[in-house]
Structure 1
Amino acid sequence: MAMTVEENDLLTRVERGAPMGEMIRQHYWIPAVPSARLEADGAPVLVRLLGSDYVAFRTTDGRSGLIDERCPHRKTSMMMARNEHNGLRCIFHGWKVDVEGKVVEAPNQVGDQAQFCKRVKTSQYGVEERGGIVWVWLGKGDTPPRFPDLPFTHLPADQRSVTSVEVPTNWVQGVEASMDSSHVGVLHESTTQITAGGGNERMHMTKALAPRLEFEERPYGYRYAALRDLPDDKVYARVNNFVMPWYGIICAPDANGPSTVFFSTPIDDVTHRAWFVHFNPTRKLGMTVMSATPDVWNFPPLPPGTRATAFGQNRDLMKRGHATGFHQHLGTEDFAMFLGQGPIADRTNEQLCSADGAVLRVRALLLKSAREFIAGKTPTLADNPELDYSRAISIGGVLPAGTDWRVLAETA
């Protein structure tokens, strides 16, 4: 069933007090910047989240912090600040802000400078650094929400990689794609062949394009199995997890291979940051198409063209057999589809099919949480007593026909 305009706005909008943005701000930790992007005493990094601007930085002693971009004094950008002696010093008048967001020096103030600094009002945000990511809680109060201890957050650095890129479309388009199993065998047909070779289980997705979907609700969202019939009475089952509000945890392409977490965090109404975390819980990750990133803040690459040029699609390559003409990266293919949907996808005139069940559940859970927030409640999926993010483990495999796919999940 197609959405109304009002439902689409509630689902997608995050700026200027929009309920979805305020719900996320209050009840979820937000990935802000890859840890590798921050250098001790290095340049501050501009971070835009939910339509507001911040700067992230690493102090002399290695701690990470996030503060409002504008200096609390005369409101110039702290992007230009000197990062020194465990704080950012504004180059306009020398006010210094520490890693907790407090003003600790105001050299142009006559009299008791320490007492003056204590009276300066600033926003202060909770920051955690785990899993190669600096996370921030932008909410109000003294009690932050439960941290999303996903399966990669405690792994050593050599068992994971983190990369991200800014994409000029609404965030929900990215979130939906992470749970859209039927697009993989079509959009990523050539990418799968290039990266997986001929013997990888993932190749089954390029042959059986219409999976049967079975769902199971979980305290953090849901998990589902995409079931594809194979010859010889076998079934290829891929069990993936959706974790509120934006994490798509995708199973490894084969036994002992690396899993991937895709997530799309809202920068503003028409821009999001696409994140790719590649991880292997059992051994070193090594060099992969995800870990071989030249820039953790700007990778994978966006499509190389505009709408007028079909976003730079290479038709000559398609004539030679490439399925999409976007050879740069699996993510580039996805980004081209998001761009093709427009800045904010119009869901009021879609014509959906059986393969869209997982996408519909993503929308339903996000809307349910936003409506609970509007009603003054803590969203159920943000504070469930049984909430255990570490159990969001995705797995795939070939099973005899008729076998319950949960057998796979129980071995994870």
Structure 2
Amino acid sequence: MPMTQQDNDRLTRVEHGAPMGQMIRQWHWLPAVPSLSLEAGGAPIRVRLLGDNYVVFRSDDGRVACFDEQCPHRKASLAVARNEDNALTCLFHGWKFSVTGEMIEAPNHTGDQVSFCQKVKFNSYKIREAGGIVWVWLGEGETPPAFPELPFTALPEDQRAVACQEIPTNWVQGVEASMDTSHVGVLHSSSTELTSGKSQRMHMTKVRAPRLEFEEMPYGFRYAALRPLGEDEQYVRVNNFVMPWYGIICPPEEGGPGTVFFSVPVDDTHHRAWFVHFNTSRPLGVTPFTIGSDLMDFPPLPPGDETNNWGQDRGVMARGHFSGFPQHFGTEDFAIFLGQGPIVDRTTEQLCSADGAVLRVRNLLLRAAEQHENSKPAPSAEELKYAEIRSVGGIILEEQDWRVLVDGE
């Protein structure tokens, strides 16, 4: 049954006090910038989240802070502030804000500066640096929600790689794609062949209509995509959705690298797509994500716009590439998002058996927004059980339950 316009708006909108944005703001840590993008004493980075603007910077001594972008005085941008003495100094009038979140100087004010600075309302936000990412909590109160201890957040630097890209479309389009297993064997068929070689992922291009089985989990759900191979065997991929936007995707082979995709709302019509490649057992080595020159501008966006089909290369398609976007599998996804429009109209879509995970994502998000509206507190760390997250793939007998791969049952 198609979604109503009211539910589509509730699902996608995050600005101006929208229920979804308010739930995310209060209940979740948001990834802001890759850690390696911040230089001690270097330029602050402007970050837009949930329709509001912030700056993130690393002080001379290595600490990280997040402030509202605009100086509380005359609203000059702190993105161009001086970063020195473990503080940001506004270029306009010299108001100075410590990395610890206090205003410490107002040189153009006569009288008792200490007392004046203490009275100025200035917003500084709680920060956590983990997994190669600087995370920020934008909610109200002193106690943040449980931090998402995902499979990569505690790994050493050489076992994970982080990159991200801003896309001019709504965030839910990216989240849905991370849980859409059937598109991999179609849209990414050439990318899968190029990057996976003879790995088990090749089975996804041969069996394009997997059977899906689901299991609700405290943090969201996990689901198995089962593809029959003949000779009484089946290829199984068990992936996890972790609220509100994490798609944790299984490695192509045992001991190989896994991937986490997440799409974070910049505003109603833009999102930042994050990619974390990681290996829990050994150094990652060279991957497309470890050699990118700009961690906030990778994978590449499609090279065109709607006037030229977003730069699709029909010549390379004629030579065997399926999508015509050979730059990266992420570029293929971005082209689809752009073609869907800034916010997908879900009121006229016609779904099929492959869309079960997408529907569950939508339902979980809408339910959480409703619960927050009804003043339900955020789930506790004990309830969420992040440590139970495990995404795996493998070949098992047809009569075996897929949970044997995950739980050894």
Same fold (TM over 0.5): yes
CA contact (8 A) 1:166 1:274 kept: yes
Mapped partners of 2:319, 2:403: distance in 1: 41
* Contact 2:98/2:104, CA 8 A, preserved across alignment: yes
Take 1:51 and 1:411, find their aligned partners in 2: how far apart are those partners? 44
1:124, distance to aligned residue in structure 2 (A): 2.2
Q: Is the 1:104–1:117 Cα contact (8 Å) retained in structure 2?
A: yes
Aligned to 1:66: 66
Asked whether the equivalents of residues 208 and 229 of structure 1 are also in contact (C-alpha less than 8 Å), the reply is yes
Aligned pairs for 1:11-410 within 5 A: 11-197=11-197, 199-378=198-377, 382-383=379-380, 385-410=382-407
Q: Relative to structure 2, which stretch is displaced further, 208-217 or 385-394?
A: 385-394
Q: Deviations over 1:36-80 (max 9, x none)?
A: 110001001000000000001000100111100001111100111
Shift of 1:377: 1.6
- Aligned-pair distance for 1:110? 1.8
Write the deviation string for residues 123-157 of structure 1: whole angstroms up to 9, x where unpaired.
12110000000000000001110000111000000
CA distance in 1, matches of 2:99, 2:169: 31
Does the Cα contact within 8 Å between 1:251 and 1:260 map onto a contact in 2? yes
Give distance in 2, aligned partners of 1:323 and 1:189.
7
Retained in 2: the 8 A contact 1:195–1:289? no
Contact 1:68 1:123 in 2 (8 A): yes
Residue aligned with 2:383, SS: coil
TM-superposed deviation, 1:411? 5.0
CA distance in structure 2 between the partners assigned to 1:139 and 1:125 by the alignment: 8
Which secondary structure does the structure 1 equivalent of 2:358 belong to?
Answer: helix
Cα distance in 1 for residues equivalent to 2:104 and 2:252? 51
Structure 1: distance between partners of 2:110 and 2:381: 51
Q: CA deviation at 1:221?
A: 0.2
Q: Aligned with 1:346: secondary structure?
A: coil
* Mapped contact 2:258–2:277 kept (Cα < 8 A): yes
Q: Percent identity?
A: 63
Deviates more, 1:74-83 or 1:93-102: 93-102
Runs of 4+ in 1 over 2 A off after TM superposition: 289-292, 382-386
Segments of structure 1 that go 5 or more residues without pairing to the other structure are none
**More deviation, 95-104/305-314:** 95-104
**What 5-or-longer segments of structure 2 have no aligned partner?**
none
Checking the alignment, whether the CA contact within 8 Å between 2:94 and 2:106 is kept in structure 1 is: yes
Question: What SS is found at the alignment partner of 1:161?
Answer: strand
Alignment check: 8 A CA contact 2:146 2:381 kept? no
Is 1:219–1:384's contact at 8 Å kept on the other side of the alignment? no
RMSD after superposition:
1.1
**One-letter amino acid matched to 2:386:** Y
Deviations 1:290-329 (A, max 9, x none): 3222210000001011112111100011111100000000
User: Which SS does the other structure have where 2:184 is aligned?
Assistant: helix
Deviation (angstroms), 1:384: 6.7
- Structure 1, residues 87-125: CA drift from partner, whole Å, max 9, x if none? 100111111111233211111222221221111111121
Structure 2 Cα separation of the partners of residues 389 and 151 of structure 1: 9
Structure 2 counterpart of 1:146, one-letter code:
A
2:340 partner amino acid: Q
**Inter-CA distance 116–155: structure 2 relative to 1 (3 Å threshold):** same
Q: TM-score, normalised by structure 1?
A: 0.98
Aligned length: 409
SS at match of 2:384: coil
Tell me how far apart the structure 1 counterparts of residues 377 and 270 of structure 2 sit (CA, whole Å). Answer: 27
My pick for the range that moved more, 369-378 or 338-347, is: 369-378
